[in-house]
Amino acid sequence: MPKLVLRDCYVVVNGTNFSDHVSSCEIQMSKDEVETTNFSGSGRERVHGLQDNSFTVTFQQDFAAASVDDVLFPLWDTEIEFTVEIRPRSGAVSASNPRYTGTCILLEYQPLSGDVGDLSETEVTFNVQRGTFTRATS
């Protein structure tokens, strides 16, 4: 089975392809742990609770029209829901290149960060609304 080296991730936020401005991306999937232990058991019991999923993306900042800040600031400012899509590769969606999509909100945005001589990057977490990802392989 081949291993994957990330070289060509596909990252789209609200319809804008930012793949050429992204240096890191992460898909985080989690569910709350709900304890259901009772007196009839001999140990702890748990069930899955609500999902709390997110995408975390590190953008190389760009203040040009239709680029990073021009797209992200209004998403934070207007408090609207939008779609985020991430794939391991830019090629067609397939079993070996699944598409993860979620309807998200942007709660925090740091448009400028860095020291003298550093590349200006901003790490953004897109919280998935209602916790639900879509995973497609075709």
Evaluated on CA atoms 54, 71, 114, 110, the torsion sign reads negative
Domain that holds residue 27: 10-136
CA distance 70 to 75: 9
Classify burial at 123, counting beta carbons within 10 Å of its beta carbon; exposed 0-12, middle 13-18, buried 19 or more: middle
Digit-coded pLDDT (tens) for 87-116: 999 999 999 999 999 999 999 999 999 999
For residue 59, is it within any domain?
yes
Q: pLDDT band at 132, cuts 50/70/90?
A: confident
- pLDDT surpassing 60 at residue 51: yes
For residue 3, is it within any domain?
no
CA distance 3 to 14: 30
Residue 1's pLDDT is 56
CATH number, residue 29: 2.30.110
Tokens encoding 121: 């990057």
Q: pLDDT band at 2, cuts 50/70/90?
A: confident
**Number of domain units in the chain:** 1
For residue 104, is it within any domain?
yes
Query: Beta partners for 105?
Result: 127
- Calculate the average pLDDT of the chain: 96
Residues in CB range of 97: below 8 A, 6 or more apart: 87, 88, 89, 91
Q: pLDDT band at 81, cuts 50/70/90?
A: very high
For residue 35, is it within any domain?
yes
